[in-house]
Amino acid sequence: MHRFLIPACLLFLITACKVNEPGHDMPKATFTATQEYASDSKTSLGEGQVFWSADDAISIFSSSTPGGERYAISPECAGQTQAQFTGNDVGSSPYYALYPADPAASLDGTLLSISLPAVQQYAPSGFAPGFNPMVASSSDRTLSFKNLCALLMIRLSGSSTVSSISITSNKAEALWGTATVAMDYADVPALAMTAPADDAHRTITLDCSSGVELGSTPVDFHFVLPAGTLSEGFTLSVTDTQQGSMTKQTSTSVNTCRSVRSPMAPLTYIQTDSPFLNQACYGMYDLSGGTPAPVKTYDKATDQLALRTYLDSRTFRIQSLVTKSALLVSTPLDMKIGGSYFLEIESVGNTGVTNATVNVTLLKSEEGKLWLQETAGNFAFIIAGAL
């Protein structure tokens, strides 16, 4: 008897586990979704159209499923303007939908609670999939999504590589965090922020991952933010991959409307703060390690400085009679902050420094000194504009 009792118990337990598996044999449902075209919007931007992406998913809610169910896009619908989404059946209508899918979102009657992220991801096509929230309501399984937020476009040119951009509202208002949407809207939905309007929630950041290289043609950076915000302007903070940064503030009201892109006037990125700009000693620096490392800098005890101008160029020299070494740096005479120029390096007796011509940007001019940084490399220079 005992030999057969244990397997019977095990069989009962295995069977019980299978019966209680979440979602096992639950009926499925499929919804067809389209999306509103804004003045440039949603998951990825194309030539006058907006397309669904391969990893897109939505949450579907109903009175019997207030916590929502996740519905995944059918693979063949990626890159299309209309898509089918399949998931566990949520019961009878009315149906309420949220893009992107969010397991933390919930429905209370017809009030949908959602959350906006503090950090968004850069995408060259406009904005990354999953960062522009939309909602839809329907009595059947056809969903017409409407955008919830506004789109702000920052345009930057320059010679650096941008690692992140932040926007801070000049007004006490939340740009991210918890929010609600009344899903019984008649025409278009309205997002109501419930997050506190404290210092932390006034700032949103665009993460540029490994970096976005700037050039002479402005690069567009898109922020998704609550409509109606930035009425008192904002502060823009840009950080580059070499720990440099630029801060600009505007007090001009920005008209951020739901489902509308607001482009700002193009800006040229010029570092206003960095570890290198805080250096004061003449010479050549290596920025590859993050902290400026002296390659050849002026030693008052052993070195001499000289500056020679001829026609439209200047040559700055650090020379040591003790070590019999010299570093000569030549640049154009007429240079402007933010401008890009060719700089010639001549080296005698300096380990690790070779003669070269490099492209540099003039970052700062102060008290007769010039701060120049290599555009596509890791070297930087502090030379004399006047002695």
Write a three-state SS string for 48-79: CCEECCCCCEEEEEECCEEEEEEEEECHHHCC
Rounded CA separation 56/35 (Å): 13
Per-residue buried b or exposed e for 113-138, using 16+ beta carbons within 10 Å of the residue's own CB? bbebeeebebbeebbbbbbbbbbbbb
- CB-CB neighbours of 150 under 10 Å: 26
Query: What pLDDT is attached to residue 38?
Result: 56
Positive or negative, the CA dihedral 43, 49, 53, 57 is positive
Number of Cα atoms under 13 Å in the Cβ half of residue 356: 9
Residue with tokens 């801070």: 168
Rounded CA separation 211/219 (Å): 12
Burial of 216 (0-12, 13-18, 19+ CB in 10 A): exposed
Residues of the chain with pLDDT under 50: 1-21, 23, 40-47
Torsion of CA 358, 298, 273, 221, to 10 degrees: 10
Query: What pLDDT is attached to residue 125?
Result: 74
Rounded CA separation 145/136 (Å): 5
Q: Is the peptide bond before 94 cis (omega within 30 degrees of 0)?
A: yes
- Kindly report the backbone phi and psi dihedral angles of residue 359, in degrees, each rounded to the nearest multiple of 5, phi listed first: -90, 130
Residue whose C-alpha is closest to residue 150's, from 34, 263, 267: 263
- CB-CB neighbours of 196 under 10 Å: 13
Residue whose C-alpha is closest to residue 105's, from 140, 136, 69, 153: 69
Contact between 62 and 90 (Cβ < 8 Å): yes
Q: Report the largest interatomic distance among the alpha carbons of the chain, rounded to a whole angstrom.
A: 109
Report how many helices (DSSP H) and strands (DSSP E) the chain contains, helices first. Answer: 1, 31
Contact between 271 and 244 (Cβ < 8 Å): yes
Distance of CA 327 to CAs 61, 305, 310, 349, Å?
Answer: 70, 10, 18, 9
> Could you state, in order of their start, the residue ranges of all structural domains in the chain?
28-268, 283-384
Query: What pLDDT is attached to residue 24?
Result: 56
Torsion of CA 136, 141, 144, 146, to 10 degrees: 10
